[in-house]
């Protein structure tokens, strides 16, 4: 409760300054610690990775892999860091992060601001391995070979992360989402597959997609992801659409919308991927999760695990514990003996 109160108190600051202060506090060891053992009903696996719970931290919170251990201590079952690009980049001009208080949502146009692969790799190498941590990799805005950037990210971090997410769905890097088309995706995943074959060890690789896909694109992505040996898909990134029910005046800001206003759209897209998924791919549900009910809705729509981030802006870090407890209770109330039993239950 104390940490939740402090998180809300940070709303007196600009959103990005508040986030910087949060990361600093976590680095200093001032973050919350969830000492309650996870309910056994929440135990599951994700592409072969054992999870104490299916509630993970989405990429975007810890861009430079500075505090994954602190977020695992806070109660997350797994943590995804990034997005990281080969070279450091400042991102888009500020202001570029906006709280939609009336809608409990967030709009960002950060533009992959991060300290680059060198710093990211150093942080991962130094971390205490207390739980699963993944790396979300991207391309520099001004890169002449964006696909090469993804290959470089995979090669540099191979062996340091427990899985990798290929982020081609951020709306804040011009032209990035074009990599979701068949020809571009085949080239990207082909070069990544070649790089994977040349390295020792095997780690799951996921593709992160947008919630704004057109008819036919879902099936194409499923086929291509499976053909090139990836293990799964994260559905979804932020949306460039604006639901008509938004009330906050800042809804007019450009960028990707996240938080509860994204829940319905992202879950509908997740269900489309589940329906098209005849390849045995793992699906991870992201976008709008703010409660155990939301988490279960994602799982019933086809997700083996879920990720959240934006809801903590308004609810504080204690949210993850509440979501886990609520999810466990709902699983039992609906007659499920495990998370896996509920996956795709409709």
Q: What pLDDT was estimated at residue 151?
A: 98
Q: Categorize the per-residue pLDDT at 4 as very low, low, confident or very high, splitting at 50, 70 and 90.
A: confident
Residue pair 29/74 in contact (Cβ under 8 Å)? The answer is: no
Nearest partner of 179 among 133, 215, 220, judged by Cα: 220
Judge whether residue 215 has pLDDT over 90. Answer: no
* Cα end-to-end distance, the chain, whole Å: 34
Taking the CA of residue 46 as centre, how many other CA atoms within 13 Å lie in the half-sphere pointing to its CB?
34
- 170: annotated active-site residue: yes
Mean pLDDT of 79-90: 98
Q: Categorize the per-residue pLDDT at 6 as very low, low, confident or very high, splitting at 50, 70 and 90.
A: confident
Q: Give dist(CA 266, CA 256) in Å, integer.
A: 13
Residues of the chain with pLDDT > 90: what percent? 97
Which domains occur in the chain, in start order? 2-342 (3.20.20.70)
pTM: 0.97
Q: Categorize the per-residue pLDDT at 172 as very low, low, confident or very high, splitting at 50, 70 and 90.
A: very high
Candidate list 143, 170, 266, 291, residue with the active-site label: 170
Judge whether residue 1 has pLDDT over 90. Answer: no
Q: What pLDDT was estimated at residue 334?
A: 98
Hey, how many other C-beta atoms are within 10 angstroms of the C-beta on 90? 12
Residues of the chain with pLDDT > 70: what percent? 100
Q: At what angle do helices 292-300 and 319-333 cross, to 10 degrees?
A: 60
Judge whether residue 193 has pLDDT over 90. Answer: yes
Q: Categorize the per-residue pLDDT at 289 as very low, low, confident or very high, splitting at 50, 70 and 90.
A: very high
Residue pair 200/167 in contact (Cβ under 8 Å)? The answer is: no
């Amino acid at each position: 409760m104390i940490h939740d109160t402090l998180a809300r108190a940070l709303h007196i600051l600009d959103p990005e300054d508040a986030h910087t202060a949060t990361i600093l506090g976590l680095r200093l060891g001032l973050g919350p610690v969830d000492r309650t053992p996870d309910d056994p009903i929440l135990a599951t696996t994700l592409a072969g990775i054992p999870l104490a719970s299916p509630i993970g931290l989405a990429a975007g919170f810890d861009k430079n892999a500075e505090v994954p251990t602190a977020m695992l201590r806070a109660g997350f079952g797994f943590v995804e860091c990034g997005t990281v690009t080969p070279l450091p980049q400042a991102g888009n001009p500020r202001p570029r992060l906006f709280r939609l208080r009336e809608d409990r949502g967030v709009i960002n146009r950060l533009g992959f601001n991060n300290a680059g692969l060198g710093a990211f790799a150093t942080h991962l190498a130094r971390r205490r391995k207390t739980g699963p941590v993944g790396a979300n990799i991207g391309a520099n805005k001004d890169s002449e070979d964006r696909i090469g950037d993804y290959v470089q990210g995979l090669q540099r971090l191979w062996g340091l992360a427990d899985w990798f997410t290929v982020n081609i769905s951020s709306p804040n890097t011009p032209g990035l989402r074009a990599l979701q088309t068949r020809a571009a995706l085949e080239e990207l995943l082909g070069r990544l597959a070649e790089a994977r074959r040349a390295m020792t060890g095997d780690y799951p690789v996921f593709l992160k997609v947008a919630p704004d896909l057109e008819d036919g694109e879902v099936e194409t992505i499923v086929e291509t992801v499976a053909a090139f040996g990836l293990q799964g898909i994260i559905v979804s990134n932020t949306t460039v659409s604006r639901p008509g029910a938004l009330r906050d005046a800042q809804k007019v800001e450009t960028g990707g919308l996240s938080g509860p206003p994204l829940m319905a759209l992202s879950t509908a897209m997740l269900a489309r991927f589940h329906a098209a998924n005849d390849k045995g791919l793992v699906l991870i549900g992201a976008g709008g999760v703010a409660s155990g009910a939301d988490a279960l809705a994602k799982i019933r729509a086809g997700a083996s695990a879920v990720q959240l981030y934006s809801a903590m802006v308004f609810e504080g870090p204690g949210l993850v514990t509440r979501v886990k407890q609520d999810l466990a209770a709902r699983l039992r109330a609906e007659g499920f003996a495990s998370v896996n039993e509920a996956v795709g239950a409709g």
